[in-house]
A and B are shown apart, each in its own frame.
Chain A
């Protein structure tokens, strides 16, 4: 669960991390008015979206006066920003964050995350912080230094101090960066975060350090320990369909094609998606029915797909395993299909546990469908129907 910039900073501030003075605004007028509460000679207006990369596509604007803030906010709010981390349709900007502009003497990158190799928390730091950090780090991972932290949340100041020295942060700046690292680490452990990222971490000419941009991702699996973060804490960028799917225990990602795809299991879903695209088709979605999903929940998920005007054919690829039997999916499918007034052609490939039974469930409901034994054949037929428009 990705938190917005302003929420991430609010949390970090509670842990003693220095942040610029800022206000959230949902309209150009509000943005202008918020300048009165910000003691600064110039301002920054930042689009609040969940994805990163906004700095490179005009999502961060400097403004010298409150009226310039108003103008920039007006241009950003209500616009969709497309960055290299959003989809092609981008993300809607519903609000902006107006901040004092910081005179940056040097930009660092600092984050806390998990090292996948040993599963231990790690502090990452680089003296090449800023909007182009990610691209630079991808080109040359050696610009980032790592320090493994104890998994129980302990923070050894002398170890972190010599680590920061190694990164090239010394003197006045070191104390400020240390305070930020300490607060960020505590926020990481206390809140079950999977990522706390500060970029840029700015050091001013006087050596004081401040978190100019921040991003926190929380572990959705740990929310039972954090009733303070309810669903509204997220970045709110879920499409309506994705929200319905989530409520029904289905992993759903909306895509731009016309083939509605229903599978059980993430791996099988990715495999099916690959095969559809390889065959020249365009999936309308990724829908993975979780193992604990009931047939009624499946019906709700499938109904959503049937109602999608972009979907011209539905491909059901289920391998009944130890937890999801084919007939559960077939039952859910049959319920949704018989109730729906929109009935696109259906191609199924059912294998594994209770596959034959599942085919009978569909037949008994007098559903019109093509059934195949292999994924390749089913995918091929679905793509063919999608191309023809109608079966």
Chain B
């Protein structure tokens, strides 16, 4: 089961013939995921690392019955590539590309309205269901199939928490990198909704940070339902200087000026267990599941 991706996921790659496209497609195939083709305008009819190349997403989807696309095209072309995938009605689109202009993503978000496509990213490490499907660039060495859903704004902390949950024997149902950009596709709220309905997922870990509105939206949602599974959150940036942007662009916003403390308060009052620091996340989940 898991969420978003699994053994039935058939992936095409937009930008597969590039250096990173080639490298990460190859790694994902070695991991056991089902990749069925690539898209590169002008190179349709050829093959690359054993997979057929098509000129358009639509052609690729029709020929391969793909139900997901990994987007690794350069930032300047990412917006158009995403809109093409949405128009071809690909159910799941995962955008790994970083540094995509926000005006382009804004147009992508407009194209998503009324469509059935789920967008993950941009600037996402991807989606991983351990043991069956990897779409993205994350390491899989420490991943083990299991019961914890992870939704995260940070690739580096996902690696960290993934290793922790594996080490204590919990494993992961699915990990989702929602991406580090201020405007992006799927958020914590939708991840929580999907994990709620997934019988394999016994608990959910949210990895958030100062800035943006992900954590507030998640708290509002959790207040509105009887979630039924423990949710543990690690919110970093409690001691980040307010005036400086540290890393992710998502940490600055006109609409979400809330500090890490405010996010922690909102989540805690929605019943979320707050991990004291990055070392304690899996232990907090383990305690919650046993308690």
Chain A residues engaging chain B, CB cutoff 8 angstroms: 51, 84-87, 111, 113-121, 124, 138, 150-152, 189, 192, 194-195, 219, 221-222, 224-225, 251, 253, 255, 263-278, 286, 288, 291, 319-323, 351-353, 374-376
Contact = CB atoms under 8 A, between A and B. Distances in A.
Q: Among A87, A114, A266, A320, which residue has the most Cβ atoms of chain B within 10 A?
A: A266
B44 interface: no
Contact of B156 (A118, A151, A265, A274): A265
B182 interface: yes
A274 to B, nearest CB: 5
A85 B246 contact: no
B156 A321 contact: yes
A114 B247 contact: no
A351 B213 CA distance: 30
Interface string B169-180: 000000000001
Interface residues of B, number: 66
Contacts of A278: 239, 277
A116 B255 contact: yes
Given A111-B254, A116-B182, A352-B141, A151 B110 contact: yes
B207 A221 contact: no
A374 B280 CA distance: 10
Interface in B237-261: 237-241, 243-248, 253-257
Q: Among B24, B27, B207, B238, which residue has the most Cβ atoms of chain A within 10 A?
A: B238
Contacts of B138: 321-322
Contacts of B184: 119
Given A150-B110, A253-B241, A192 B101 contact: yes
B88 interface: no
B172 to A, nearest CB: 15
Interface residues of A: mostly helix, strand, loop or mixed? mixed
Nearest to A282: B239
B15 interface: no
A271 B107 contact: no
A114 B102 contact: yes
5 shortest interchain CB distances as A-B pairs? A267-B154, A265-B156, A266-B247, A119-B109, A268-B156
Contact of B163 (A120, A221, A265, A319): A319
Interface in B89-147: 99-110, 113, 125, 136-142
A288 B234 contact: no
B163 A352 contact: yes
Contacts of A272: 278
B278 A271 contact: yes
Contacts of B152: 267
Contacts of A86: 243
13 contacts: A87-B241, A111-B254, A117-B255, A118-B109, A120-B110, A121-B106, A266-B248, A274-B239, A286-B247, A321-B158, A322-B27, A351-B160, A375-B278
